[in-house]
Amino acid sequence: MSATAAVLALSGTGLVAYGLSKQDTATPPSPGRSTAAAESPSGAASSPPPARKGAAYAVPQGDVLDRSQPTRVRIPSLKVDTDVIDLGLQPNRRMEVPQNGKQAGWFTGSPTPGQLGPSIVAAHVTWQSKRGVFFELGAMKPGQRIEVDRQDGTTAAFQVDQVGQYPKASFPTEKVYGTVDRAELRLITCGGVYDGDSGHHLDNIVVFAHLVPSTAPHAHHTG
């Protein structure tokens, strides 16, 4: 299997993550585990469900930001500070993924960070035998901070609500991509046991976060 093995086509099965042919010698942390407990291999990124017709958001609660594409993501607790590139859909309707382990990617089919709805950012957990930018994503804890710089010069600050680990076979598509009444962020990568036969990790790690109103420059209040 190549290092950039393609995800499954868009379907109701939800998110499916990439596996890498060469893995790091340490295991990325899972939710509830410390980074010191990491011991074995891992892999990386993600694909959205099909667009839903007629979906509408509820009246938004709290602050939201105008649309502006993300340029950089910072996670102080993990010492992550990296560029954000655009991830669109390929002609076969599979989501693009970062072509290296150092950059994160924003799915252009989702709201920009700070807009109403769940903004989706994905990155590799390992890449060519090295740790990827989201290697320690599973070690995040509720209350920690994520900052996303945007093209308009503002920074959208988010607070982590929850960190989940989900089998890819039963990925919670609605929970990750579904309607919400505030500005939220999802950070996604691979996790769990690495299956050498398939070249994939069996799980996904998802960080759920919401926009922090007091630190959202140029936000406008809607509810």
With beta carbons less than 8 A apart as the criterion, state whether 153 and 166 touch. Answer: no
Tokens 């890449």 belong to which residue? 127
pLDDT score at 41:
31
Which residue from 214, 209, 200, 117 is spatially nearest to 160, judged by alpha carbons? Answer: 209
For residue 25, the one-letter residue type is T
Its pTM surpasses 0.75:
yes
109 exposure class (CB count in 10 Å sphere: 0-12, 13-18, 19+): middle
pLDDT in tens, 39-62: 323 333 345 665 554 455 567 788
Q: What is the CA radius of gyration of the chain?
A: 16
pLDDT above 50 (res 70): yes
pLDDT score at 196:
73
**Domain ranges for the chain:** 35-47+61-221
210 exposure class (CB count in 10 Å sphere: 0-12, 13-18, 19+): middle
Q: What is the CATH number of domain 35-47+61-221?
A: 2.40.260.10
pLDDT in tens, 95-149: 677 889 999 999 999 999 999 999 999 998 888 878 999 999 999 999 999 999 9
Confidence of residue 26 (pLDDT cuts 50, 70, 90): low
Q: In DSSP terms, which residues pair with 165 in a beta bridge?
A: 205
Count H helices and E strands in the chain, helices first: 1, 12
pLDDT in tens, 165-174: 999 888 888 9
- Number of Cβ within 10 Å of residue 166's Cβ equals 20
Confidence of residue 64 (pLDDT cuts 50, 70, 90): very high
Greatest alpha-carbon pair distance for the chain in Å reads 50
